[in-house]
């Protein structure tokens, strides 16, 4: 699949960088109190998500063809481990179903930008517009269907080469646009209040749920814990330096998230009536405001800047949704011998049905609750705060305790051809630190052993 070493990094980075950075990160930071949450998130990124990302690479590349077979092949006859192959299947359906809703919103905003729909609007207009759009029972569903169809088309037709090439241009361009927006956002009135929210930690508001959210965000942002990256790593070449790639992808991913925070929060404090804890609408209300406030006096600039920015965001969302669909499609293709296009279409249809329910959570079905959460929130909770940490934990146990140590060493050093000074530290993290950390957070959450309220 990936002809070059660079293709491997691009695919993993394409999966990692997406709405998780630009939409979910500011949303979670806003609802979890700001700076303290960010510090904990970065800590988990280093200690948990990044090492587990490298673990997924190692399992995928060594195991070959599918996640099912990878676990079976590497488990040394302990056949129970092959059930880990179901993780990407179940969670793939869940994550794509609600991610596609937000990706659909993004596509709609790109369309609005194309039609010059933001011109002359005020902050109240943007808030009202988003509320009306997201609670509509048809419009967001339509845009979600378009995104799912695009994702399905790319996975079914296998035009991933184009995506690989596109990513090479798209990623740096997105980065430049984000940087420009950061500078713009910092010039808005009251920007310093946003900076305070981002950089002055108040540890008194750190609770068990904040810690669980920070861990969930680290996993979600890097796409780890579900076997998604195992699926990609099956196609990695033998000369890819897994550790180096993992560090590069995690660094890019964290930077994009932090920079998104630097766009959103200074702007939030400059818009009357907007609160950092507004939830999923935060980014969709704030961004068009930034475009209007900063470039409003030069309408042509506002038009092109917002259009290109939303298109880049749609691309970033697509490279992530492709990785979600790929992990489920690969399973049905390999295990049931379904042709890839058929497998991709079947999965997409199921996701579309589930996505309807998620989308209606913002309108007609707002009162339908599962464990006190809307369907959308419940899917997000299941993926980021349940499946991902548990999957990550099991991968650490598998690679740290079940798999022959020589296999791990061979993967980290490319069969002894690479020097890997970080290997001993890495093995220590995978064997002890990461699984223990995840266990402690869950123990606290479930009340088995409370160290935080």
Residue written as token pair 């499946």: 387
Residue ranges in 89-108 that form contacts with ligand PFF under rule CB under 6 A: 95
Site for ligand PFF in 161-220 (CB under 6 A): 220
Q: How many residues bind ligand PFF (CB under 6 A)?
A: 15
**Among residues 89 and 123, whose Cβ is nearest to ligand PFF?**
89
Backbone angles phi, psi at 373, to 5 degrees: -120, 155
20 binds ligand PFF per the rule CB under 6 A:
yes
Rule CB under 6 A: say whether 16 interacts with ligand PFF: yes
CB-wise, 102 or 184, nearer to ligand PFF? 102
**Which residue number has the CB closest to ligand PFF?**
20
Q: Using CB under 6 A, pick the residue from 174, 228, 314, 375 that binds ligand PFF.
A: 228
CA dihedral in degrees (89, 311, 378, 268; nearest 10)? Answer: 150
C-alpha dist (Å) from residue 208 to 149, 439, 445: 39, 13, 6
DSSP string, 370-411: BTTB-HHHHHHIIIIIIIHHHHHHHHHHIIIIIS-HHHHHHH
Q: Quick check: 21 binds ligand PFF (CB under 6 A)?
A: yes
| Minimum distance of ligand PFF from residue 387's CB (angstroms) | 9
Tell me how far apart the alpha carbons of residues 60 and 68 are, in angstroms, rounded to a whole number: 10
* 8, 19, 155, 230: which one binds ligand PFF (CB under 6 A): 19
Spatial CB neighbours of 336, under 8 Å, sequence gap ≥ 6:
343
Q: Which two tokens stand for residue 436?
A: 């223990």
226 lies in the site for ligand PFF, by CB under 6 A: yes
Q: Of the two residues 167 and 223, which places its CB atom closer to ligand PFF in the complex?
A: 223
d(CA 413, CA 410): 5
Which positions from 371 through 390 interact with ligand PFF, judged by CB under 6 A?
none
Q: What kind and span of H or E run contains 114?
A: helix 87-114
Q: Tokens 């713009």, residue?
A: 184
Site string for ligand PFF, 313-342 (x = CB under 6 A): -------x--xx------------------
CB of 383: closest distance to ligand PFF in angstroms? 7
Applying CB under 6 A, the residues found at the interface with ligand PFF are: 15-16, 18-21, 95, 220-221, 223, 226, 228, 320, 323-324
């Amino acid at each position: 699949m990936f002809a070059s070493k660079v293709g491997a990094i691009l695919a993993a980075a394409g999966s990692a960088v997406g709405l998780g950075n630009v939409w979910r990160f500011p949303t979670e930071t806003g609802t979890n109190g700001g700076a303290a949450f960010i510090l904990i998130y970065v800590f988990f990124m280093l200690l948990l998500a990044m090492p587990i990302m490298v673990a997924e690479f190692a399992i995928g590349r060594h195991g070959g063809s599918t996640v099912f077979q990878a676990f079976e092949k590497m488990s040394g006859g302990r056949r129970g481990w092959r059930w880990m192959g179901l993780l990407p299947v179940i969670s793939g359906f869940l994550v794509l179903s609600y991610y596609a809703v937000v990706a659909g919103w993004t596509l709609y905003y790109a369309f609005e930008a194309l039609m010059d729909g933001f011109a002359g609007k005020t902050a109240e207009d943007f808030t009202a517009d988003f509320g009306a759009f997201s609670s509509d029972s048809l419009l967001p569903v339509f845009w979600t269907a378009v995104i799912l169809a695009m994702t399905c088309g790319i996975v079914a037709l296998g035009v991933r080469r184009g995506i690989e090439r596109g990513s090479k241009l798209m990623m740096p361009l997105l980065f430049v646009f984000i940087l420009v927006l950061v500078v713009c956002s910092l010039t808005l009135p009251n920007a310093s209040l946003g900076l305070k929210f981002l950089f002055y930690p108040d540890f008194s508001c750190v609770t068990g749920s904040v810690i669980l959210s920070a861990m969930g965000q680290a996993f979600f942002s890097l796409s780890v814990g579900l076997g998604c990256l195992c699926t990609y790593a099956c196609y990695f070449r033998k000369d890819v330096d897994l550790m180096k790639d993992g560090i590069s992808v995690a660094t890019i991913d964290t930077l994009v998230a932090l920079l998104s925070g630097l766009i959103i929060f200074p702007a939030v404090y400059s818009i009357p009536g907007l609160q950092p804890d507004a939830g999923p609408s935060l980014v969709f209300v704030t961004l068009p405001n930034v475009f209007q406030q900063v470039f409003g006096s030069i309408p042509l600039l506002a038009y092109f800047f917002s259009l290109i920015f939303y298109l880049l965001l749609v691309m970033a969302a697509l490279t992530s949704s492709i990785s979600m669909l790929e992990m489920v499609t690969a399973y049905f293709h390999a295990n049931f011998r379904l042709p890839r296009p058929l497998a991709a279409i079947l999965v997409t249809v199921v996701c579309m049905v589930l996505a309807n329910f998620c989308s209606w959570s913002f309108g007609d079905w707002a009162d339908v609750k599962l464990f006190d959460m809307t369907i959308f929130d419940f899917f997000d909770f299941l993926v980021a705060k349940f499946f991902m940490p548990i999957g990550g934990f099991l991968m650490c146990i598998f690679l740290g305790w079940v798999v022959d140590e020589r296999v791990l060493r061979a993967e980290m050093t490319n069969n002894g051809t690479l020097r890997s000074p970080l290997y001993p530290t890495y093995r220590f993290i995978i064997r002890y630190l990461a699984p223990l950390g995840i266990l402690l957070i869950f123990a606290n959450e479930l009340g088995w052993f409370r160290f935080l309220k």
